[in-house]
Structure 1
Amino acid sequence: MIDIHCHILPGVDDGAKEMKDALEMARLAYEDGIRHIIATPHFNNHFLVEAETVRAKVKELQAALDTNGIGITIYPGNEVRLESWDFVQSSAENGRFCYLAENPAYVLFEMTFTGYPQDAVKGVKWFRERGTQPIIPHPERHLFFREKPELLEDLIHAGAWTQVSVDSLVGKNGEDVRFFAYSLIDRGFCHTLATDAHNELRRPNLSEGFRIVERHAGTAAAQVIRDRMNAMIPAK
Structure 2
Amino acid sequence: MIDIHCHILHGLDDGPKDLEESVELAKLIYADGIRHVIATPHFHQGLITDKRLILARIEQLHAELDRLRIGLTVHPGHEVRLDHPSFLEEQLRGGGFHFLGGGRGYLLLEQRWTDYEPETPGIVKGLLEQGIQPILPHPERHFFFRETPSLLEDLVEQGAWVQVTADSLLGAHGEEARQFSEWMADRTLVHLIATDAHNMKRRPQLTLGYEWLETRLGAAYTAEMMARTEAILLP
Q: Secondary structure at the match of 2:80?
A: strand
* Partner Cα separation in structure 1 for residue 104 and residue 157 of structure 2: 21
* Partner Cα separation in structure 2 for residue 94 and residue 226 of structure 1: 32
Q: Secondary structure at the match of 2:134?
A: strand
Q: Note the residue ranges of structure 2 that are not aligned, 5 or more in a row.
A: none
Q: Which residue of 2 aligns with 1:13?
A: 13
Q: Note the residue ranges of structure 1 that are not aligned, 5 or more in a row.
A: none
For 1:209-231, what per-residue CA distance to the aligned partner results, in whole angstroms no more than 9, with x for missing partners?
Answer: 10000011011110110000011
Give the counterpart letter for 1:65 in structure 2. L
Matched, 1:165 2:173: no
Q: Which residue of 2 aligns with 1:114?
A: 114
* Partner Cα separation in structure 2 for residue 104 and residue 56 of structure 1: 20
Q: Which residue of 2 aligns with 1:48?
A: 48
Q: Is the 8 A contact 2:99 2:106 kept in 1?
A: yes
Q: Secondary structure at the match of 2:232?
A: coil
Q: Is the 8 A contact 1:108 1:135 kept in 2?
A: yes
Runs of 4+ more than 6 Å apart = none
Give the counterpart letter for 1:79 in structure 2. E
Matched, 1:200 2:192: no
* Partner Cα separation in structure 2 for residue 67 and residue 234 of structure 1: 27
Q: Secondary structure at the match of 1:231?
A: helix
Displacement of 1:234 in angstroms is 3.0
Matched-pair identity in %: 46
Q: Secondary structure at the match of 2:221?
A: helix
Please, what TM-score do these two structures have when normalized by structure 1?
0.97
Q: Is the 8 A contact 1:51 1:95 kept in 2?
A: no
Q: Is the 8 A contact 1:79 1:109 kept in 2?
A: yes
Two-structure CA RMSD over aligned residues (Å): 0.9
Matches within 5 A, 1:25-104: 25-104=25-104
Please, what TM-score do these two structures have when normalized by structure 2?
0.98
Q: Which residue of 2 aligns with 1:231?
A: 231
Q: Is the 8 A contact 1:99 1:107 kept in 2?
A: yes
Displacement of 1:37 in angstroms is 0.3
Q: Is the 8 A contact 2:45 2:87 kept in 1?
A: no
Residue correspondences, number = 235
